[in-house]
Each structure stands twice: as C-alpha cells, then as structure tokens.
Amino acid sequence: TNYSYDAENLKIQEEVNSLMRLGQHFDDQLKLASVELGDFSDDDLALLDKCAQYYSLLHIHDINLNYLRDFYCAKKRECIENRQTTVQQRVELQRILSSIEEATRDVVMLERFNAAAEERLIPDIVVMQRNAQQLATKQALLDRQKTLKIPKDFSIESVIEKVDSLEQR
C-alpha cells in the first residue's frame, strides 16, 4: 500500500510539474505576443478563463497564434460581408421605396383620369336614345324628300346666285 501511495504521489507530482511547465509556456507565449494579463478587462479575462477551461477539457496544450489570427480574420471578413450585405439591402430597399412612390403617383394620376372620364361618360341608354332619334329624324327627312317634287330644270347654282345678289342689296 505504501508503494501505491508513493506511485500516486509521484504521478500527482509529475502532473503538477507538467501543469507548471504548461503555465510557464503559456506565459511565454503571451509575452511573445506582447500581451499582459493586466491589459484585459474583466469580461475579457472571463472569456480567457472559459477558453482555458475548454483547453483543459479538450487536452489542448499549445496555443497557436495563427489559429487566433485566422479566427480574427474570419470574424473580420464576416463583419465586413455583413456590412456590405446591409448596405446592399439598404440600396435595394431605397430602390423599392422609390418604385412604390412612383407607382403610387401613377395610381393617383390614373384615378384622376378615370374620375374625369367617368364624368364625361354618356350612359349607354342616352346614346341609344340619341341614335334612335337621329335615325328617326333621318328617316323623316328622307320621307319628306321623296314627297318633294323638284322640277327638272331646277338649278341650285341659280338659287345661290339669287341669294347672293339679294344679300348685296
């Protein structure tokens, strides 16, 4: 039992030494990046603590700054793309709003035209009555013309000349 106790102590001692070396390695990595823990806000430190917990749970023992830079670049690109999309959507929205305004003006103009046309519109029954009246008048005139006896030697030109000469007097 003493042997197992010593073996377990040795294992714990090796793990403590390994963790101390890992802590020193991380401190060195931070110094290489010119980062001091005092530079971070409380929120940033909480995030770093959470990150360290994940590293511990996943047994990751090396911080590679390239991964951090890649992550930063990806996030920055995503942010730029989101801004670009937002600007494009604003432009598209403005175009759509302008089209709606133009269509609204056209609708108002067409409604005014329609109202004016409806005011001038003569109902079908009135048109039919007028046509019937005109046809009746035409037929009456044709009937009167048939009964009118015009002499064969009648000259309309001579009648016009007589009217003109009477007007001149």
Burial class (CB in 10 A: 0-12, 13-18, 19+), 55: middle
Segments making up each domain of the chain, as ranges:
2-63, 86-145
HSE, side-chain direction, 13 A CA sphere, residue 129: 5
| Cβ-Cβ contacts under 8 Å for 148 (sequence gap 6 or more) | none
Say which residue, 119 or 150, is predicted with more confidence.
Answer: 119
Q: What is the pLDDT of residue 62?
A: 60
Using an 8 Å Cβ cutoff, are 30 and 36 in contact?
A: yes
Task: Using pLDDT thresholds of 50, 70 and 90, give the confidence band for residue 86.
Answer: very high
pTM score, whole prediction: 0.40
Q: What percent of the chain has pLDDT over 90?
A: 31
pLDDT, tens digit, for every residue of 37-81? 667 788 887 887 887 787 777 766 566 667 767 777 888 888 899
